[in-house]
């Protein structure tokens, strides 16, 4: 199970999270988000983050030009599209050599069949909770809805993930293609500032479980 830590922007905090060696680290380039990076990121430092940690830029209904310029500026590997982007947008970005994560807000009404329109142009899907904001609502959706998912494309699970429900996700991952988890608001001291001690506990739980399964 991969771990993505999203919504970082403060230099010292980023360095501490990088030391934990997450699989992905996310920066939000959406101005209406309380975790919007603004001009806080140290460009040279972000570029120097070890290649084993994939850097993700999160965008909401941004133009392909803006996305590609930002990807180049910070040497990002992934663009996470968290708005109402159509498949053509995903395709145009991916054709430029940028990996694409397409996020979808899940509720009872979500039509999983529409994912077929996107799967050829995305590297990963991300399933988040439908709410007031495009992400970071801090609430989990009914994960049993994922049993309707009939696609082979791996996905990241997001929305309200915390230390209290990680065991449930690990169990779910035995029957669903959960590639990893995307954590944000449940591991914060304030928006954009991660609680490193809580993240250490999460990493420990996930990695210990992985080790146990490998030895089983």
pLDDT digits (tens, 9 = 90+) for 20-61: 999 999 999 999 999 999 999 999 999 999 999 999 999 999
CA gap 28, 196 in Å, rounded: 19
User: What local confidence, expressed as pLDDT, does residue 214 receive?
Assistant: 64
User: What local confidence, expressed as pLDDT, does residue 133 receive?
Assistant: 65
SS3 state at 206: helix
Cα dist. 110→34, 113, 127 in Å? 26, 9, 11
Mean pLDDT of 5-23: 98
Q: Nearest 5 degrees, angle CA 174-CA 126-CA 89? A: 145
Reported confidence tier of residue 81, pLDDT bands at 50, 70, 90: very high
User: What local confidence, expressed as pLDDT, does residue 139 receive?
Assistant: 85
Tokens linked to 8: 């970082």
pLDDT at 134 over 80: no
Number of domains in the chain: 1
User: What local confidence, expressed as pLDDT, does residue 55 receive?
Assistant: 98
User: What local confidence, expressed as pLDDT, does residue 33 receive?
Assistant: 93
pLDDT at 157 over 80: yes
- Which has the closest alpha carbon to 191: 53, 66, 60, 32? 32
State the residue range of the domain holding 153. 2-215
Q: CATH number of the domain that 103 lies in?
A: 3.20.20.70
How do 24-28 and 54-59 pair as beta strands?
Answer: parallel
**Phi–psi pair at 83, nearest 5 degrees:** -115, -140
Q: For the chain, give the mean pLDDT.
A: 93
Reported confidence tier of residue 79, pLDDT bands at 50, 70, 90: very high
Residue range 184-215, pLDDT digits in tens: 999 999 999 999 999 999 999 998 766 666 67
User: What local confidence, expressed as pLDDT, does residue 59 receive?
Assistant: 98
Reported confidence tier of residue 9, pLDDT bands at 50, 70, 90: very high
């Amino acid at each position: 199970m991969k771990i993505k830590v999203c919504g970082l922007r403060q230099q010292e905090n980023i360095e501490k999270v990088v030391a934990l060696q997450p699989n992905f680290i996310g920066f939000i380039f959406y101005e209406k988000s309380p975790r919007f990076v603004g001009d806080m990121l140290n460009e040279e430092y972000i570029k120097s983050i070890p290649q084993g940690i994939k850097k993700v830029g999160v965008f909401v209904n941004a133009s392909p030009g803006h996305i590609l310029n930002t990807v180049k500026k910070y040497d990002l590997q992934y663009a996470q599209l968290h708005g109402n982007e159509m498949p053509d947008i995903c395709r145009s970005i991916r054709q430029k050599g940028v990996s694409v994560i397409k996020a979808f807000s899940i509720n009872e009404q979500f039509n999983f069949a529409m994912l077929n329109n996107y799967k050829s142009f995305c590297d990963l899907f991300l399933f988040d909770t439908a709410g007031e904001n495009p992400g970071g609502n801090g609430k989990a959706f009914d994960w049993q809805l994922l049993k309707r998912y009939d696609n082979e494309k791996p996905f990241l699970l997001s929305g309200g993930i915390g230390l209290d429900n990680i065991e449930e996700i690990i169990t779910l991952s035995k029957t669903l293609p959960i590639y990893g988890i995307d954590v944000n608001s449940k591991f914060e001291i304030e928006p954009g500032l991660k609680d490193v001690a809580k993240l250490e506990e999460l990493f420990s739980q996930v990695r210990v479980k992985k080790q146990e399964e490998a030895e089983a």
